[in-house]
Amino acid sequence: MNFETGFQNFEKLAFQFRKIMEKENTRFRDLYFRNAHDDFNKLCVAMDTWEDTLLAVSDYFKNESERNDGERYLRFYGALQAVYLQQESIKAIYQITMGQKFPKKMSDSPWIKIRDLRNNTTGHPVRTDSGKRVFLVRPSVGGDKVHLLTFDTKTGKDNHIEVDLKGSLSDYFSEAVQIGNQLVEAADKKWPKV
């Protein structure tokens, strides 16, 4: 699944989930969250975050030629931070909708790979928990592919890496669509039409 298709499918799922939730917001809350107003509010915040982060990620790939270096960095950092916030919101929605914790992902999962990219480049680039220091190569920031220079603190060696950001996001959205389908299906059963 390419980036555009995966993104659009995930966006449609957000819209479907929102329709289930907004059957008449107060009535929905009173009917299904009578003694759990915090869960209801958590669900509302998570749903808003899911939708808002889609806007941020879609904006990353628009009008690249019109950006200066600072804006490219801001968009890169923002897009990866948006994915991180999106994942946190999906985990919260999953816990409320499914009644259990979000399942742990394997390290080779696109969900984890994009999260690791965010942690290493945007979240904690100077922290060495991973044993690496990660440098973004300025001319590559803002495009479909990003070049990184990593320094391995254990071996003392540098490594040049090219990351296909658009491809990584495509893989992530493919996985996220599967999760979104589960959430919409479960929500539709758990919270039938009001």
Q: pLDDT tens string for the chain (194 positions)?
A: 889 999 999 999 999 998 888 766 677 888 888 888 899 999 999 999 999 999 999 888 776 666 788 888 888 999 999 999 999 999 999 999 999 999 999 989 999 999 999 988 887 777 666 778 888 888 888 888 999 998 888 899 999 999 999 999 999 999 999 999 999 999 989 887 65
pLDDT computed for residue 174 by the predictor: 96
138 inside domain: no
Check residue 159 and give left, alpha or beta (phi > 0: left; psi -120 to 50: alpha): beta
130 inside domain: no
67 inside domain: yes
Domain count, the chain: 1
150 inside domain: no
Q: Which two tokens stand for residue 18?
A: 């929102």
Q: Which two tokens stand for residue 92?
A: 């919260």
pLDDT computed for residue 42 by the predictor: 94
142 inside domain: no
Bridge partners (DSSP) of residue 149 are 135, 160
155 inside domain: no
Alpha-carbon distances, residue 165 vs 94, 113, 118 (angstroms): 26, 11, 11
Q: What is the pTM of this model?
A: 0.90
If you count them, how many residues does the chain have?
194
Q: For residue 21, give its domain range.
A: 3-125+165-190
